[in-house]
Amino acid sequence: MPAEVAPKSSIFCKYVPFRYVFAVLGSIGIAIVYGLNIYGIIMAQMVHDDKPYIAVYVVLSYYCVYVVSQIPLARVAEKYSAKWVMLFSVAINLVCTLLTPVLTEFHFGGHILMRVMEGIVGGASFPAMHVMIASWAPPTERMVMSAIIYVGTNLSIPLAGVLSEQSGWESVFYVMGPLGCIWMVLWIIFVQDNPNKQRFISPEERQMINSSLGTELQEDHHPAVPWKKVFTSVPFWAILIAHTCYELNHWPYLIQTSDYMKQALDINFEAPLLGLYSFTVIFSIGFSILLYCLQNKGKVSATCARKITTAIFLFIPGACLIFLFCIGYLQNGAVTIMSVGFVSMEAMFPCFLSNHVDIAPNFAGTLVALTNSAAYVTSSLVFLSMKFVIAEQKSIETHRIIFGFKIALFAITFLVLIIFGSGKEQSWNKNEKNEDENITLKKITNLNCSFDNFDNINSK
């Protein structure tokens, strides 16, 4: 059993729940990892502008190892420490980014090597954060805490874009570098893997989290993943399909609609897009807080809350595509519709993205690694195919065909999540080995009691 650290009450603990200190630091950590990834993409395009095939290879080298590394690092986070896995993810990203300009001048292979290293540790960020959410977030607060943590991805994108545009691509590292160093110090001091290891927490908050999660007694036992039960679990497949369809729609949704605006309507959608990213942070957190209040008052269940977000996340963007399909060349209407569709898509943070923690908190890191890997592989292949089609034919009719494909994906995902999605913990999440051991122990105890009674009768 891990050693429990005595909590220290303070004025800070009384007014600021420490689980939200973790959530904010987690959000900053995610923002740094994704910001440095965007920096790497921008740098690849800038440095290898005369050799675009090298730039493509540099970008792809990151995502290839990103996909492969996720499941092994997820198991490391679950078995040992998600805190340190996340710390090393940020630290190695910073070091590799710092070395990238020097090694790139020496040979482009040095750039590829650094991107490979960044991709390996970058694949640890989502699984590590899911493991920590499972240990820190009470069930009714999972949506809120997940939204706070993962909106970090949306914070880093406009920040990197503005910095590179205003002050050059080098400024991204000048900001992310010092920010990352400060974050690492704060992360080491103030964040632990679970409330029982956290010194800077009130006894009341620790008790509340533990009682809500049923983790008053922390056992030093890490069950093996029940792979067969995972892959035969209907709620898991619902999440996997949703995650894959999201990746199929998200980046292509943005890039293809931006191309559509330029090619068919002669509109630059990239400028308002940066502002929309900032607005999605407010929308995602605000919407998850509303659902938390409804859950806390008993108005909706966890499953119902997930399905409400599903309707927002899928129905509205799908409807926006239908409108865009119909309005043709109306410029003002197109910008408004695409803005609404993009913002509503960010309901995915309190939707399926934290649903892994609901159905199997013991294996949340592994589950998100599985769905994220499948989503990235599938979406990359489809995205490359889509870009080829658009490059060959730039007519509005071609875009409308792709819009139709996306509308169908939204409809399929909506039906899958509404019918098969669940917010309930699955039976295979339980530690069956420990349960069997407890049953055996009870039998032995009862047997000993029987022998004791027999001895007492004989003594009489």
What tens digit of pLDDT does each residue of 33-66 get?
887 887 777 777 666 666 767 777 877 888 888 8
More confident residue, 140 or 347: 140
Most confident of 63-72, 128-137, 211-220, 240-249: 128-137
Are 197 and 4 within 8 A, CB to CB?
A: yes
CATH topology identical between 1-199 and 226-450: yes
Are 23 and 151 within 8 A, CB to CB?
A: no
Domain boundaries, given as residue ranges, for the chain: 1-199, 226-450
Helix (H, G, I), strand (E, B) or coil at 10: coil
pLDDT tens digit string along 137-167? 999 899 899 999 998 888 777 777 677 777 7
Burial status of residue 61 (CB atoms within 10 A of its CB: 0-12, 13-18, 19 or more): buried
Are 360 and 231 within 8 A, CB to CB?
A: no
Long-range contacts for 211-215 (Cβ within 8 Å, ≥24 apart)?
212/138, 212/139, 212/140, 213/135, 213/138, 213/139, 213/361, 215/135
More confident residue, 30 or 2: 30
What CATH class has 226-450? mainly alpha
Hey, what CATH topology would domain 1-199 get?
Growth Hormone; Chain: A; (1.20.1250)
363's tokens = 């294996």
Locate tokens 């160093």: which residue? 181
Query: Of 57-61, 168-172, 281-285, 355-359, which range is least confident?
Result: 168-172
Question: What is residue 391's predicted lDDT score, i.e. its pLDDT?
Answer: 54
Question: What is residue 239's predicted lDDT score, i.e. its pLDDT?
Answer: 92
Residue 273 — pLDDT band, cuts 50, 70, 90? low
C-alpha distances in angstroms, 211 versus 99, 145, 196, 221? Answer: 46, 18, 12, 19
As a whole number, mean pLDDT of residues 101-112 equals 80
Report the amino acid identity of residue 49: D
For the chain, the average pLDDT equals 79
Q: Enumerate residues 6+ apart whose C-beta is below 8 A from 392.
A: none
Asked whether residue 188 carries a pLDDT value surpassing 90, the answer given is yes
In this prediction, what percent of the chain has a pLDDT beyond 70?
A: 75
Locate tokens 């499972």: which residue? 134
